[in-house]
Amino acid sequence: MSKFEEKTVASKEIFSGKIINVSVDDVVLPNGQLAKRELVKHPGAVAVIALTAEQKVVVVNQFRKPLEKEIIEIPAGKLEPGEHHSVTALRELEEETGYTTDKLDYICSFYTSPGFADELLYIYFTDQLKPLEESRALDEDEFVQVLELSLEELEQLQNDQRVHDAKTVYAIQFLKLRQG
């Protein structure tokens, strides 16, 4: 046991939903004191940084209820049980953008908010897009507008807080570094 580890002595699930589960855990701190931890369990997600042949970034504009506004994001979605993140990446790219690819490169993964959630986000990259022959197949509760924007346009949208999520900010930095 690490000198900073917290030992769980009780756990109570308070919500079980379609996307997340929430529990409250009683823990013993390294100094022996008791504390409560509110935890969000999430199956993980995947996002794709997708570039067209014209070097435009494929993004989606969608309303995000927790923010009560629309934001522009790189395509992303939740892992399904037992699904490898590379399969999720291709599925989400196709569903949300109408593009597919034969080449997805894994870039990295990171925890989105480790202070309270266990969501692990996998990031992929492709610059070899092909339009799907059939129309995209959004989930029944998804309403998105596909945009193809230059890196400069995305940076301006970030300054305007229309791009305002970690995965898309990461994508902008990744693409800037890739340009050299």
| One-letter amino acid for residue 21 of the chain | N
> Which residue in the list 140, 142, 153, 155 is annotated as catalytic?
140
Tokens of 1: 């046991």
CA distance 146 to 149: 10
CA distance 151 to 16: 39
Does the annotation mark 148 as catalytic? no
Burial class, 107, CB count within 10 angstroms (exposed 0-12 / middle 13-18 / buried 19+)? middle
Separation in Å, CA 34 to CA 25, 30, 37, 53: 10, 9, 10, 56
51 close to 127: Cβ distance less than 8 angstroms: yes
Catalytic residue numbers, as ranges: 140
